[in-house]
């Protein structure tokens, strides 16, 4: 089979541990919120309040918004400080 050239167009980036942590958190939290927290309601309302619905449908979106805002603020601040440059061990060539 004919070989081809990879990496055409533009280069790739290397995800930092912080970015990977954010992604992993969302991948775990997402299904957990959708399945686990909403399921709390199976046991009925807690003191008249449906805790599962409350956490799954109100808490989870707010948590993800905070996660994105926090990540954006952190990454942008780091970039402003020059920490995002192609430093040793970070760039690919």
Partner 1 sequence: MSVDVREAAAVVVVGSFGAYVAVLLWDRLRSAAVFYVPGRRQRPLAGGIATATGWISAASFLSLAGLTALDGRLGSAYVVGWTAGFVLLAVLVAPALRRAGRHTVPGYLGARFGSPAVRRVAAACALLVTVTYLAAQLRGAAVVLSRLLELPVGAAVGVAALLVMLHAAAGRMRALTAGHVVQYVVLAGAYLVLAGAMLQVLAGEVLPQRALFARLSAAGAALLGGAPGAPLFPALVDRAAAAGLAPTADSARGVADRVAVTLALMAGTVGLPHVLRRFFVVPRRADARATVAWGLVFVVVLYSAVPAVALAVRATLVGTLDGAPRPPAWVQAWAPTGLVRIDPGVGPLQLAGDSGGAGRVEAGPARPLVHVDPDLLVLAAPEALGLSPWIVALAAAGALAAAISSAAGLVLAAAASVVQDLAPGAPAGRDDRITRRAAVSAGVLAVAVAAALALRPPGSVVQLVALAFGVAAAAFFPALVAGAFWPRVTGRAALWGMVVGAALTVGYVHWFRFLHPERDLSAAWWFGISPEGFGAVGAALGAAVLVVVSLLWPAAARPPTGTATEPG
User: Tokens standing for 71?
Assistant: 């990540």
Phi then psi dihedrals of residue 49, to 5 deg: -115, 125
Whole-angstrom distance, CA of residue 4 vs CA of residue 6: 6
On whether the CB atoms of residues 42 and 91 are closer than 8 A, the answer is no
Work out how close the CB of 49 gets to partner 1 at its nearest, in angstroms, rounded to a whole number: 5
Give the interface with partner 1 as residue ranges (CB under 8 A): 1, 3-16, 18-19, 22-23, 25-27, 29-31, 33-35, 37-39, 41-42, 44-45, 48-50, 52-54, 56-58, 60-62, 64-65, 67-69, 71-76, 78-80, 83-87, 90-93
Work out how close the CB of 30 gets to partner 1 at its nearest, in angstroms, rounded to a whole number: 4
Work out how close the CB of 81 gets to partner 1 at its nearest, in angstroms, rounded to a whole number: 9
């Amino acid at each position: 089979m004919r070989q081809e050239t990879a990496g055409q167009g533009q280069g790739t980036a290397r995800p930092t541990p912080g970015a990977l942590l954010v992604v992993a958190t969302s991948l775990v939290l997402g299904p957990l919120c959708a399945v686990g927290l909403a399921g709390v309601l199976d046991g009925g309302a807690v003191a008249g309040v449906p805790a599962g619905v409350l956490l799954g449908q109100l808490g989870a979106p707010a948590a993800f918004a905070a996660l994105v805002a926090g990540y954006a603020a952190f990454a942008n601040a780091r970039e402003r400080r020059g920490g995002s440059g192609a430093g040793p061990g970070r760039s690919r060539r």
